[in-house]
Amino acid sequence: MKVLVINAGSSSLKYQLLDTGNQQVLAKGLCERIGIDGKFTYKAPGKDTVDAVDVPMPTHSEAIQAVLDALVDKANGVIASMGEIDAVGHRVVHGGETFAGSVRIDDRVMAALEACIPLAPLHNPANITGIRACQAVLGPGVPQVAVFDTAFHQTMPPVAYTYPLPYEYYEKDKVRRYGFHGTSHKYVSQRAAAMLGKPLESLKLISCHLGNGSSVTAIDGGKSVDTSMGFTPLAGLPMGTRSGDLDAGILEYLMGRYNLDIGEMLDILNKKSGVLGVSGVSSDFRDLGQAGEQGNRRAALAVDLFNYGVKKYIGAYAAAMGGVDAVIFTAGVGENSPEQRLAIASDLEFMGLKMDPAANNVRGKETVISTPDSKVKALLIPTNEELMIALDTAALA
């Protein structure tokens, strides 16, 4: 089946056309500056690359049209006609408590997505716009599926998702832990079972999605039972620019001292904190690694603080599940930084995890990176959210 995967943001739209039969990417790219002017990028194996060329994109509809035009282009396209697109899968950030899995989109689903907007006011409107644009351009004949970042975590028990706040805030306002990166955690857990040659239902896994945004998830028998992100993606680990968990009392203290309103405070917590805030150098772990090697102590501290945070979650989730069979590393840092993987998983021999420094010295490839006699396995698994979205879409369409 040929599935178009769409990840729409407020002014950008990433796309991939995948063949779910052989799991190949036929073409992929990016529309940027939607609503401003419009830049279009397109890459397909064996074809000419289109790199950030000007294409007017007043709305997401023109962006989708540009994608379709490129896909069917006589010289550079990969399909003969739009009719070859069997279905469209959309990444949707927040499904609230309504969606515990992917769904085929209809009017009822659209209404439920609208109802979730207050939970993700920046992301869901853009996702909805992307869906409407596809409906308008492709017509009602092509099935559209929504795949949620939150859905995989809907299996968490109340003890993991309830905040110790007055209970009516959960009942009336749906304030609870939702968790994010669900598509990635689900994908790598399935790959882990395949790599270990064991049924997913029999495994206790800890999945570490370490990128610009980072989260750790405890997966017991294939189900998410706890995760580090919360009501919003601001919770849990320190990240590129987000603070992660902190004492809420700090907010009042800093807002009072610097006369900040809540918007300014949240801007600091979302965009100026994390490893960027601590280092004062960069939110990019490659820059921090270099700066640290050149003797920048704050850059080194930022990386140490991040690694330490991941290690603490691994310990916590092993305790929460009463054991662990494998720890998975994925996303930008998890896939590409042998040094950080080693720093995170060192000193975990006490719980049966012994890293193999030689096996760990790889990037971006599915590999076991613990020693053959390690009771708990450490796995490097490149994530593939687009493939997961395409497979869910194909199954539902």
Which residues are catalytically annotated? 149
- The one-character DSSP state at 359 is T
Q: Does residue 337 touch ligand ADP according to CB under 6 A?
A: yes
Q: Does residue 213 touch ligand ADP according to CB under 6 A?
A: yes
Q: Based on CB atoms, which residue is closest to ligand ADP, 77 or 182?
A: 182
Asked whether the beta carbons of 107 and 162 are under 8 A apart, the reply is no
Distance in Å, CB of 208 to ligand ADP, minimum: 12
Residues 6+ apart with CB under 8 A from 148: 92, 93, 94, 95, 99, 102, 182, 183
Q: Return the sign of the alpha-carbon dihedral for residues 278, 283, 288, 289.
A: positive
Of the listed pieces 48-56, 60-68, 308-316, 328-336, which binds ligand ADP according to CB under 6 A? 328-336
CA distance 5 to 145: 9
Q: Based on CB atoms, which residue is closest to ligand ADP, 143 or 213?
A: 213
Q: Does residue 284 touch ligand ADP according to CB under 6 A?
A: yes
- How many alpha carbons lie under 13 Å from residue 216 in its C-beta half-sphere? 28
CA distance 228 to 310: 10
Asked whether the beta carbons of 135 and 88 are under 8 A apart, the reply is no
Q: Does residue 332 touch ligand ADP according to CB under 6 A?
A: yes
Q: Does residue 331 touch ligand ADP according to CB under 6 A?
A: yes
Of the listed pieces 95-103, 135-143, 208-216, 224-232, which binds ligand ADP according to CB under 6 A? 208-216
Q: Based on CB atoms, which residue is closest to ligand ADP, 129 or 384?
A: 384
Sequence letter at residue 279 = S
Q: Does residue 212 touch ligand ADP according to CB under 6 A?
A: yes
Distance in Å, CB of 388 to ligand ADP, minimum: 14
Of the listed pieces 20-28, 194-202, 282-290, 342-350, which binds ligand ADP according to CB under 6 A? 282-290
Asked whether the beta carbons of 150 and 215 are under 8 A apart, the reply is no
Residues that bind ligand ADP (CB under 6 A): 211-213, 240, 284-286, 289, 331-333, 336-337
